[in-house]
């Protein structure tokens, strides 16, 4: 992990309020899927890094891609950064998804909801490169199914199932509704999305007898494990805190669903 003044390769909107940025950085060499980087705003009134998941690591391991939603002033400022501009980032942070949990002959479901979708792309490519069997189940708000073509390219169109809140595309409802409607089963589930979705994933995985790995969000200050701002409640006393608190920025953001109280 390091802080680096990196170079923006491109930064463009892909749909309303969602931006896609490629950054040339040596952090890409150490990065794994499911990890995140901290992006520092330049405005001196905003001093904390914004945690953003790694969406793609380039094949030559020289650049990283992030896809982010403008959620407030910091991400709004970041969306105004231009190609060739410097950007200060911290990373790679956190533990990431472990693609090696999945074995040949087993099946995985990769669930993404809303702005939780982007980190599932790199994971898909890593499973694909190992010739492992997986399907995407993606939850969108409406027919604005951003990046859908990219998931289809990764997994093959037949292996991408979508759900929309308004029913305008795919199954009406949540990713869980889409799993049920299609009678999907899995040995391993990887998920990133809003908290209600992750709670449902935890429940569904228990019923299915699948091991679920979920990526959590929490407010962060340091991003390196020092401030203890970003904790989540764990079921067991964890080794670092000696209380039932794990740090999302170090022990997470990815947890086994059974290990956390959400």
Partner 1 sequence: MNTSVQIAGVEFKNPVMTASGTFGSGMEYVGLMDITRLGALITKGVALTPWEGNPTPRVAETSSGMLNAIGLQNPGIDVFCERDLKFLEGKDTKVIVNVCGKTEEEYVGVVERLADEKRVDMLEINVSCPNVKEGAIAFGQNSKALFSITEKVVKAAKQPVIMKLSPNVTDITEMAKASEAAGADAISLINTITGMKIDVERKRFVLANKTGGLSGPAIKPVAVRMVYQCAQAVNIPIIGMGGIATAEDALEFILAGATAVAVGMMNFHDPAASVKVIDGIEAYMKRHGIDDINSLRGVVS
Ligand X SMILES: Cc1cc2nc3c(=O)[nH]c(=O)nc-3n(C[C@H](O)[C@H](O)[C@H](O)COP(=O)(O)OP(=O)(O)OC[C@H]3O[C@@H](n4cnc5c(N)ncnc54)[C@H](O)[C@@H]3O)c2cc1C
Q: Which residues bind partner 1 (CB under 8 A)?
A: 1-3, 40, 44-49, 74, 90, 218-232, 240-245, 250
Q: What are phi and psi of 188, to 5 degrees?
A: -130, 140
Q: What are phi and psi of 147, to 5 degrees?
A: 70, 5
Out of partner 1, ligand FES, ligand X, none, what residue 36 binds, judged by CB under 5 to 8 A for its kind, is ligand X
Q: Which of residues 217-246 bind ligand FMN (CB under 6 A)?
A: 221, 227
Out of ligand FES, partner 1, ligand X, none, what residue 69 binds, judged by CB under 5 to 8 A for its kind, is ligand X
For residue 200 the two structure tokens come to 């449902």
Q: Which of residues 37-66 bind ligand FES (CB under 6 A)?
A: none
Out of ligand X, partner 1, ligand FMN, none, what residue 245 binds, judged by CB under 5 to 8 A for its kind, is partner 1
Is the Cβ of residue 52 or residue 161 nearer to ligand X in the bound state? 52
Q: Which of residues 230-259 bind ligand X (CB under 6 A)?
A: 253
HEC profile for 179-245?
A: HHHCCCCCCEEEEECCHHHHHHHHHHHHHHCCEEEEECCCCCCCCCCCCCCCEEEECCCCCCCCCCE
Q: How far is the CB of 81 from partner 1 (least distance, A)?
A: 18
Nearest to 79, CA basis, from 24, 14, 29, 167: 14
Q: How far is the CB of 41 from ligand FMN (least distance, A)?
A: 18
CB 140 within 8 A of CB 162: yes
């Amino acid at each position: 992990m390091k802080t680096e003044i990196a170079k923006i390769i491109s930064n463009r909107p892909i749909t309303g309020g969602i931006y896609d940025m490629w950054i040339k950085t040596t952090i890409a060499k150490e990065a794994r899927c499911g990890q995140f980087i901290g992006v520092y705003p330049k405005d001196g009134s905003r001093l904390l890094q914004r945690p953003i998941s790694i969406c793609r690591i380039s094949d030559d391991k020289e650049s990283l891609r992030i896809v982010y939603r403008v959620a407030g002033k910091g991400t709004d400022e970041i969306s105004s950064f231009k190609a060739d501009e410097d950007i200060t980032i911290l990373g790679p942070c956190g533990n990431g998804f472990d693609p090696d949990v999945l074995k040949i002959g087993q099946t995985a479901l990769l669930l993404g909801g809303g702005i939780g979708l982007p980190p599932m792309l790199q994971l898909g490519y890593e499973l694909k490169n190992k010739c492992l069997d997986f399907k995407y189940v993606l939850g969108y708000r409406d027919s604005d199914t951003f990046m859908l073509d990219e998931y289809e390219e990764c997994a093959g169109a037949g292996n991408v199932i979508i759900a929309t809140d308004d029913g305008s595309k795919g199954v009406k409802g949540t990713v869980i509704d889409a799993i049920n409607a299609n009678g999907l089963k899995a040995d391993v589930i990887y998920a990133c999305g809003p908290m209600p979705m992750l709670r449902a994933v935890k429940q569904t995985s228990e019923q299915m007898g699948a091991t679920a790995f979920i990526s959590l969000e929490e407010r962060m200050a340091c991003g390196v494990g020092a401030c203890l701002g970003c904790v989540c409640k764990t079921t067991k006393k964890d080794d670092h805190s000696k209380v039932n608190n794990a740090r999302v920025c170090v022990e997470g953001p990815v947890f086994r669903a059974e290990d956390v109280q959400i």
